[in-house]
């Protein structure tokens, strides 16, 4: 299988600067060579061009930098469609989590033409289910999952075509531990599957992942994995956009990715919110690369 790496060095959706350097940090951590060592053909397509915050004005405080984010995720969606059309694997490096709108919209547009279904495993401390009306900050990296299930700004909902990109019942959020008040109602109303850190603590990550794979991965044709590194506890990954204490530990994170790899269902992957400014000697990016290796089949023995 050929893996196509696409960098999206965007921090426009975030409230804190630095995640635009995430793709560079992940490459410095050796992602290309690590995947080649596992036997994959890797093609690095470089980074998308993005206008910085200094080059534009905020037109709507409830959806900050919406025009440029819309442009970027539209370009990304087309790149994903192109990669999928070659029967290759898109690996997207962010950047803030708003880039998922482009990745998954591209995948959904491709799948729709094939009359296939799409599911998402969203590994994240946050639900990312705000809308401009509910968001406390107006930062779009807190909105992508809502957009992809049919809520939020129309320009973003229409990336890749005017249809709902994912059925909420085909989404599982794993590692959840920080939900805004405005998100909670829609998450429950629309039937998104929620696997909180409390559940992982209570039942163990293996049982939780087995359930998530059964309820989502096993019932769809294309499975996208969206890995926000803030799902991991800051002890192991301090260099992330929005750190939250009480996250996945080292082995829990690896087991999640190992079980995804063993399922043989993953058809696309993105890695987001790595922030080198907050990191120590690039340890978070290096951990992220290790997790990607686990998803692609690296074993201890």
Q: Which domains does the chain have, with CATH numbers?
A: 2-295 (3.40.800.10)
Query: Is residue 141 annotated as part of the catalytic site, yes or no?
Result: yes
Query: Is residue 124 annotated as part of the catalytic site, yes or no?
Result: yes
pLDDT reading at 56 higher than 80: yes
Active-site option among 11, 20, 68, 273? 273
pLDDT reading at 143 higher than 70: yes
Angle between helices 100-113 and 66-85 (to 10 degrees): 40
Active-site option among 11, 68, 124, 270? 124
The pLDDT tens digits of the residues spanning 5-47 come to 999 999 999 988 999 999 999 999 999 999 999 999 999 999 9
pLDDT reading at 150 higher than 70: yes
From first CA to last CA, the distance across the chain in angstroms is 22
The pLDDT tens digits of the residues spanning 202-253 come to 999 999 999 999 999 999 999 999 999 999 999 999 999 999 999 999 999 9
| Cα gap 69→43, rounded to integer Å | 25
Which pLDDT belongs to residue 226?
A: 98
Query: Is residue 273 annotated as part of the catalytic site, yes or no?
Result: yes
| Cα gap 86→236, rounded to integer Å | 36
Share of the chain above pLDDT 70, in %: 99
299 falls in which pLDDT band (50, 70, 90)?
Answer: confident
pLDDT reading at 300 higher than 80: no
Angle between helices 250-263 and 283-295 (to 10 degrees): 30
- Count of CB atoms situated within 10 Å of the CB of 34: 18
The pLDDT tens digits of the residues spanning 157-179 come to 999 999 999 999 999 999 999 99
Active-site option among 11, 47, 96, 126? 126
Query: Is residue 198 annotated as part of the catalytic site, yes or no?
Result: no
| Cα gap 212→219, rounded to integer Å | 11
Query: Is residue 68 annotated as part of the catalytic site, yes or no?
Result: no
Query: Is residue 97 annotated as part of the catalytic site, yes or no?
Result: yes
Active-site option among 4, 97, 224, 254? 97
| Cα gap 259→174, rounded to integer Å | 13
Query: Is residue 228 annotated as part of the catalytic site, yes or no?
Result: yes
Active-site option among 128, 233, 270, 286? 128
Which pLDDT belongs to residue 189?
A: 94
DSSP string, 26-61: HHHTTHHHHHHHTT-EEEEEEE-----GGGS--S-T
| Cα gap 132→243, rounded to integer Å | 22
Active-site option among 47, 183, 228, 252? 228
- pTM exceeds cut of 0.85: yes
Query: Is residue 126 annotated as part of the catalytic site, yes or no?
Result: yes
């Amino acid at each position: 299988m050929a893996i196509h790496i696409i960098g999206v060095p965007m921090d426009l959706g975030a409230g804190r600067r630095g995640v635009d350097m995430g793709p560079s940090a992940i490459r410095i951590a050796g992602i290309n060579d690590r995947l080649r060592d596992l036997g994959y053909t890797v093609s690095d397509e470089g980074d998308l061009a993005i206008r910085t915050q200094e080059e534009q004005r905020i037109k709507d405080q409830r959806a900050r930098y919406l025009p440029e984010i819309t442009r970027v995720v539209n370009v990304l969606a087309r790149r994903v469609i192109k990669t999928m059309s070659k029967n290759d694997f898109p690996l997207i490096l962010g950047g803030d989590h708003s880039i998922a709108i482009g990745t998954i919209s591209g995948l959904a547009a491709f799948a729709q033409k094939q009359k296939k279904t799409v599911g998402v495993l969203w590994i994240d401390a946050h639900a990312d289910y705000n809308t401009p009306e509910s968001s406390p900050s107006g930062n779009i990296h807190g909105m992508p999952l809502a957009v992809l299930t049919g809520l939020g700004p129309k320009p973003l909902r229409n990336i890749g075509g005017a249809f709902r990109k994912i059925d909420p019942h085909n989404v599982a959020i794993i590692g959840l531990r920080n939900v805004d008040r405005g998100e909670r109602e829609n998450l429950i109303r629309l039937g998104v599957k929620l696997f909180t850190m409390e559940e992982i603590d209570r039942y163990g990550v293996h049982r939780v992942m087995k359930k998530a794979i059964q309820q989502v991965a096993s019932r769809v044709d294309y499975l996208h994995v969206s890995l926000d590194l803030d799902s991991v506890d800051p002890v192991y990954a301090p260099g992330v956009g929005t750190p939250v204490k009480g996250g996945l530990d080292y082995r829990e994170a690896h087991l999640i990715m190992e079980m995804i790899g063993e399922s043989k269902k993953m058809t696309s992957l993105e890695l987001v919110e790595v922030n080198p400014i907050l990191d120590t000697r690039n340890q978070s990016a290096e951990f992220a690369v290790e997790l990607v290796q686990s998803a692609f089949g690296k074993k201890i023995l």
